[in-house]
Amino acid sequence: MTGLNQPAQTAQTEKARPEPGFAAAGNPVLPFPPVVIAVAGCSGSGKTTLAAELARNLSGIHFHFDNYYRDLSHLAPAERARQNFDDPELIESPLLIEHVAAMARGESIHSPCYDFATHSRRPGCTETVTPSAFLLVDGIFALHYADLRPIYHFRVYVDTPDEVCFERRLQRDVLQRGRTPQSVREQYEATVRPSSLKFVRPSAVHADLIVEGTDDLDWKVERVLNEMRIRGLLRLSA
């Protein structure tokens, strides 16, 4: 898939995306609803780094999927650890879609708090997220869920070769999560790469812009912002 650089055609069955900055009757409601931007890509692609930098440049909100993993507290710890966290079924997608749609209307939401050490949600814990003029939705499945795609005003896919994704994930998991290189490699080959080939890489066809994950960050940011200028999506920040 590396090398694709043409905007994909949106499926005809998808609903028209709302015009940002205007109510249904055409009355301005600046700065809401926000411009909603999806940033997708495989684990280790650099999508989160790009989404965070775009949010910084746009003074927007960086919203990621991590807190929407399903609560596995009903399973024994060993069984929780055996789950495939690179399968979209492990995300509570109805709640995620409901919350992204609410923020796209300019509404605050209360997202769950997920504890990755126990693979469960923290009881009684929520995080209030209030959207700003720009909402950056970051996740490996950001373009996978059909009910999410019509909400976005602009869709970006970060296309990075498998070997680069693996090396980045290896470094992260060994240095930041205390895992062994062997365990990281086994998980990558058993679940991460197969899931990316099945669910993540095919979702690139829904992107408006595909950027190369190995390009410099500044260049990727400029490509996204330039395309947004062309489409009139930066007018709310003027």
Instruction: Give the tens place of pLDDT for each residue, 198-237.
Output: 999 999 999 999 999 999 999 999 999 999 999 999 864 4
Residue 7, domain member (yes or no): no
Structural domain span for residue 74: 35-233
Predicted pLDDT at 173: 84
Residue 153, domain member (yes or no): yes
Total number of domains constituting the chain: 1
Question: Is 11's pLDDT higher than 80?
Answer: no
Q: Which token pair is 24?
A: 């249904």
Cβ neighbours of residue 79 closer than 8 Å, sequence gap 6 or more: 72
Question: Is 5's pLDDT higher than 80?
Answer: no
Q: What's the predicted TM-score (pTM) here? A: 0.83
Q: Residue 106, by phi and psi: left (phi above 0), alpha (psi -120 to 50) or beta? A: left
Contact 70, 90 (CB under 8 A): yes
Radius of gyration, alpha carbons of the chain: 18
Residue 145, domain member (yes or no): yes
Predicted pLDDT at 235: 63
Beta-bridge mates of residue 41 = 158
| Span of 66-80, 97-111, 172-186 with lowest mean pLDDT | 172-186
Question: Is 43's pLDDT higher than 60?
Answer: yes
Counted residue by residue, the chain has a size of 238
Q: What is the mean pLDDT of the chain?
A: 86
Read off the CATH number of the domain in which 85 is found: 3.40.50.300
Question: Is 13's pLDDT higher than 50?
Answer: no
Predicted pLDDT at 146: 97
Residue 23, domain member (yes or no): no
Residue 84, domain member (yes or no): yes
Residue 30, domain member (yes or no): no
C-alpha distances (whole Å) from 93 to each of 23, 76, 197, 207, 230 are 26, 23, 20, 20, 32
Question: Is 26's pLDDT higher than 60?
Answer: no
Predicted pLDDT at 117: 82
Closest CA to 194 of 106, 40, 85: 85
Residue 15, domain member (yes or no): no
Residue 130, domain member (yes or no): yes
Instruction: Give the tens place of pLDDT for each residue, 135-169.
Output: 999 999 999 999 999 999 999 999 999 999 999 98
Average pLDDT over residues 70-75: 94
